[in-house]
Amino acid sequence: IMNLFCYNCDYFFSIIFLVVSVCEGALGLSILVSMIRSHGNDFLNSFGLLLC
C-alpha cells in the first residue's frame, strides 16, 4: 500500500511541475509580446530602412 502512495505522490508532483512549466511559458510569452508591442519590432524597423 505504501508503494501505491509513493506512485501517486510522484504522479501528483509531475502534474504540478507540468502546470508550473506551462504557466511560466505563457507568462514569458505574454511579456515578450507586450515588449514587442511597446518598443516595436526591430525587423519591421530595418525593413522600413530598406525601402528608402
The string of pLDDT tens digits covering residues 33-47 is: 887 787 766 665 555
Instruction: Look at 49 and 19; give whichever has higher pLDDT.
Output: 19
Q: In this structure, what C-alpha cell is assigned to residue 11? A: 504522479
The secondary structure of the chain, three-state, reads: CHHHHHHHHHHHHHHHHHHHHHHHHHHHHHHHHHHHHHHCCHHHHHHHHHHC
- Count of structural domains, the chain: 1
- pLDDT at position 2 is 54
The string of pLDDT tens digits covering residues 25-34 is: 999 999 888 8
Percent share of the chain, pLDDT over 70? 58
The whole-chain average pLDDT of the chain stands at 76
Q: What is the extent of the structural domain holding 33?
A: 1-50
* Cα gap 7→14, rounded to integer Å: 11
